[in-house]
């Protein structure tokens, strides 16, 4: 399901870029956004703007988030994610031949940090943590 702009505005799902009476951002996104990366922030924004409508999908997502959030590996996961730069932006800059040495260095550092993420994700054995088990093969150390 995708929400129209009127619904997004009236439910205050995203920060209001225009007139703000209190000067404070009171949107749902600003209240719950504790993401560590730009990619995570965009992902959360997409989740808010395109909510799930199927009960099994909603429950699966809740279980995955709960397993990641409440596990003892959460701090290690957050620290590893903080070391990863905005890969979507970096890949776009490289593909359009607009990258510089700083971008390439950030990309290399992010790839190395992905190895630490891989070891964290493969350590998840909880059946409810399907997200981690899905992501782990994508972060193989030999890549």
Q: State the pLDDT at residue 1.
A: 87
Maximum Cα interatomic distance, the chain, rounded to a whole number of Å = 53
Distance between CA atoms of residues 119 and 113, nearest Å = 10
Dig out the tokens for 137 from the structure: 């093969």
Could you please report the per-residue DSSP string of 7-18?
Answer: HHHHTT-S--SS
Q: State the pLDDT at residue 75.
A: 82
Q: State the pLDDT at residue 135.
A: 63
Dig out the tokens for 7 from the structure: 């619904």
Distance between CA atoms of residues 139 and 107, nearest Å = 14
Q: What residue spans of 21-73 are helical by DSSP H?
A: 28-32, 38-49, 55-70
Q: State the pLDDT at residue 55.
A: 96
| pTM > 0.75 | no
Please tell me whether residue 36 adopts helix, strand or coil conformation: coil
Q: State the pLDDT at residue 23.
A: 62
pLDDT along the chain (143 residues), means of 10: 90 77 78 87 92 92 79 79 89 94 93 80 62 60 55
């Amino acid at each position: 399901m995708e929400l129209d702009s009127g619904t997004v505005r009236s439910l205050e799902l995203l920060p209001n870029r225009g007139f703000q009476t209190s000067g404070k951002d009171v949107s749902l996104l600003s209240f719950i956004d504790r993401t560590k990366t730009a990619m995570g922030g965009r992902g959360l924004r997409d989740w808010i703007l395109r909510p799930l409508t199927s009960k099994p999908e909603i429950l699966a997502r809740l279980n995955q988030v709960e397993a990641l959030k409440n596990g003892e590996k959460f701090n290690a996961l957050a620290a590893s994610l903080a070391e990863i730069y905005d890969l979507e932006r970096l890949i776009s800059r490289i593909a359009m031949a607009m990258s510089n040495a700083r971008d390439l260095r950030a990309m290399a550092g992010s790839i190395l940090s992905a190895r630490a993420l891989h070891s964290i994700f493969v350590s998840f054995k909880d059946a409810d943590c399907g997200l981690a088990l899905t992501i782990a093969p994508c972060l193989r150390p030999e890549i």
